[in-house]
Amino acid sequence: MSSLGVGGALLRKRARRPVGILSATTAKTKTKKKHFVQQKVKVFRASDPLISVFMWGVNHSVNELIQVPVPVMLLPDDFKANSKIKVTNHLFNRENLPSHFKFKDYCPQVFRNLRERFGIDDQDFQASLTRSSPYCESEGHDGRFLLSYDKTLVIKEISSEDVADMHNILSHYHQHIVKCHGNTLLPQFLGMYRLSVDNEDSYIMVMRNMFSHRLTVHRKYDLKGSLVSREASDKEKIKELPTLKDMDFLNKSQKVYVDEEQKKNFMEKLKRDVDFLVQLKLMDYSLLLGIHEVFRAEQEEEEDLEEDHTENESSPHMNVGSYGTSPEGIAGYLNSHKPLGPGEFEPIIDVYAIKSSDSILFCLENGSAWMKVRRSTRCLSVNIYEVYEQQVP
C-alpha cells in the first residue's frame, strides 16, 4: 500500500493488480472511496498563539539545522544570515496554531556554534523549549520574561532595536566565548528569533537560566559597584523575592564566603568579562547575585514532606532533588546520575553556581540594556564588594 501526501492529510491508495487477473472482489476494491487519514504531526499547545508559533518554529528550525553539516569554521556571512519560513496552516492543527504566520531564525549557524561551546546539545535545546509550553515568569514594560517548562532556559521578549544591537556585537561576543572556552559570567545567548502573527512582529532571545532549575533562590541582589541611588524601593522590598541593590547588600553586612580556588576563578572570569565590555564601550551592566540558603531549603523540604504526608499518607515520597527534572531536555542529564541532596547542584547544568560555606551562589554579569552600544568613550568601572575566602576551622 502506498501513501500520497495531499495538503494536510495523507491519501491512502491501494496498489493496482495486473489487469488480466482482476476478480470481482478486486473490481469492487477499485471503486472503493478514497480514505483520508489525519496527518501525524507534533502538536504545540499553548494558551498564547504566539508561544505556539515559537514552539513550532524552534522545532522546525532545529530539525532543519540538524540536516545541515556543521561548518569547519564560521564565515562573516554567517553573522548576517537568517532562515525564515512562511506557513499557511489550512488543514491541520488549526485549534493550536494561527492560520498564517512567519518564523525567522537569526544567524542559525552562529547560535548553533554558541550552544555547542556552552555544552548544550541541539536536541536537548529543542526538547526543553518544545516538549511542553513555556510559562510566563513576569511581564513588564520591557516585554515578557518566560521560562522553559524545565526551568533551564529563559525566553525574553526584546525589541527590534535590541536585535540590531545584538547583530552589531555578535561577532565580538562569539570571539570572546571562543577565547574563554565558554567560561563566562555573561549571559549565554542561545538563539534569536522573529515571530510574525497577524501582521505584527515579535522578537525573542533565548538564554540559559542563570538560576538553578531545582534550587530555590532566597535572596537576590543587583550590584553595580556604586552607592548612588542604589537601594531597593519600599515597593520592591515587599515582594516575595525582591531585587535588592548595593546599599541593601552593605546595610545587611552581607558577606560571601567561598574557598580560595573558587574566589580566584570567579575574579578571573569577572575581570575578563568586564574588560570585554569596556573594549566594546558597553554600559549599564551589573552583577546579578542569587543566594540559595541550604539550611532554609532543608526546613522547607521537611515542611513540604509533612504536608504531603498529611494530605495522602499512602503517596510515595519524592527523592530529594528529583523534582524539576525531565527525561528530555537539558535537565534530563540528571536522570542518569544519582539524585542530588539539599545544596547540591550539577555544574554542567547550573553553570553559574558557586558553593559557599552555607549557601549556593548564582552569579551573572547582566543588565537590562548591556547589549546597547554607547557612543560615549567613558565606561562604567565595576567595583565588586569583597569576596571572602572560606576559613577552614
Mind listing the pLDDT tens digit for each residue in 89-121?
655 555 677 888 999 999 999 999 999 999 999
Distance CA(128)–CA(134), nearest Å, equals 9
More confident residue, 151 or 353: 151
330 compared with 247, residue with greater pLDDT: 247
Distance CA 196, CA 289 (A): 35
122 or 307, higher pLDDT: 122
3-class secondary-structure state, position 362:
strand
- In this predicted structure, which of 1-15, 56-70, 297-311, 320-334 has the lowest mean pLDDT? 1-15
List 102, 156, 269, 372, catalytic entry: 156
Closest to 343 measured CA to CA, from 218, 207, 185, 210: 218
Checking if the pLDDT of 283 tops 90, the result is no
d(CA 121, CA 114): 11
Place of cell 530529594: 320
More confident call, 178 vs 353 = 178
Give the count of beta carbons closer than 10 Å to the beta carbon of residue 284. Answer: 13
Residues 6+ apart with CB under 8 A from 245: 221, 222, 223, 224, 230, 231, 232
pLDDT over 60 (residue 382): no
Q: How far apart are CA 300 and CA 295, in angstroms?
A: 9
Cell triple for residue 236? 520592591
On average, the pLDDT of the chain sits at 75
Domains of the chain, each with CATH number or no CATH: 2-38 (no CATH), 49-208 (3.30.800.10), 219-389 (3.30.810.10)
Residue of 198, 201, 275, 284 marked catalytic: 284
Stated length of the chain:
393
Cβ(294)–Cβ(217) below 8 Å? no
Cα 302–chain centre separation: 30
If you search the block for the grid coordinates 574566589, which residue do you land on?
263
Task: Name which of 143, 145, 123 is nearest 134 in CA terms.
Answer: 145
The pLDDT of 229-254, averaged and rounded, is 90
Instruction: Give the pLDDT score at 175.
Output: 97
**Tell me, what's the pLDDT at 311?**
58
Q: Is 156 a catalytic residue?
A: yes
Residue pair 339/317 in contact (Cβ under 8 Å)? The answer is no
Please state the rounded mean pLDDT for residues 312-317: 48
- For 145, the grid coordinates are 520574561
Classify residue 282 by its DSSP letter. Answer: B
Work out the pLDDT band at 162, boundaries 50, 70, 90: very high
Active site residue 33: no
Backbone torsions φ then ψ of 201, nearest 5 degrees: -100, 135
Of residues 375 and 214, more confidence is placed in 214
pLDDT-derived band of residue 254, with 50, 70 and 90 as boundaries? confident
Q: What is the pLDDT of residues 323-376, one digit of tens each?
A: 333 446 766 654 545 556 666 777 778 888 887 766 666 666 664 333 333 222
DSSP notation for 143-188: EEEEE-TTSSEEEEEE-HHHHHHHHHHHHHHHHHHHHTTT--SS--
pLDDT tens per residue across span 18-37 = 433 333 333 444 444 443 33
The answer on pLDDT for 240 being more than 60 is yes
Statement: residue 154 has pLDDT above 80: yes
More confidently predicted of 378 and 186: 186
